[in-house]
């Protein structure tokens, strides 16, 4: 019993010293760290998907079509990325950018902070469509 308690104390001490870097060996067991997290900074949100850029682009376009939103293509900031503007009450600017190998970053820029709920709803639509595309 004492060995278990000392092991737990060592684990917490290690994480206090090294932070989340100490949890890296646990990540492969738990799954990908990118799915499910939405970060907000001022008027933009960022969500990472463990999928290739073409799958995410198809999911975004399908989500826009399902919600009857008009999509205007824009010039992407990155050569292999996609930039879109979705026409709704307040226009959303969406950037689909490669992040790492088979990891894609989706950035939704909104003008009003009150549209944060719509951005979350749009991410949920994208999640559902990514799952649908993966199933075939």
Tens digits of pLDDT across the chain (136 residues): 778 888 787 777 777 776 555 554 544 444 444 455 677 677 788 899 988 899 999 999 999 899 888 888 887 777 788 888 887 777 788 899 998 888 899 998 877 655 677 788 888 999 999 999 988 7
Helix (H, G, I), strand (E, B) or coil at 103: strand
CA-CA distance, 124 to 120, in Å (whole number)?
Answer: 6
Confidence (pLDDT) at 113? 56
CA-CA distance, 51 to 36, in Å (whole number)?
Answer: 13
CATH for 33-135 is 3.30.310.80
Give the number of residues written for the chain: 136
**From-to residues of CATH 3.30.310.80 in the chain:** 33-135
CA angle 104, 119, 91 (to 5 degrees): 100
Q: What's the half-sphere exposure (Cβ side, CA atoms, 13 Å) at 92?
A: 27
Give all strands of the β-sheet with 70-74 in edge-to-edge order. 38-41, 44-49, 103-109, 92-100, 82-87, 70-74
């Amino acid at each position: 019993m004492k060995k278990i308690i000392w092991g737990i104390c060592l684990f917490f001490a290690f994480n206090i010293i090294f932070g989340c870097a100490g949890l890296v060996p646990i990540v492969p067991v738990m799954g990908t760290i990118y799915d499910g997290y939405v970060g907000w900074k001022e008027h933009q949100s960022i969500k990472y998907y463990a999928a290739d850029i073409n799958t995410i682009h198809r999911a975004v376009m399908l989500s826009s079509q399902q919600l009857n939103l008009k999509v205007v293509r824009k010039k992407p900031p990155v050569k292999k990325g996609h930039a879109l503007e979705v026409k709704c009450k307040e226009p959303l600017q969406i950037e689909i950018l490669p992040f790492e190998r088979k990891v894609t970053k989706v950035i939704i820029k909104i003008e009003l902070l009150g549209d944060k709920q719509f951005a979350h709803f749009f991410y949920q639509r994208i999640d559902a469509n990514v799952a649908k595309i993966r199933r075939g």
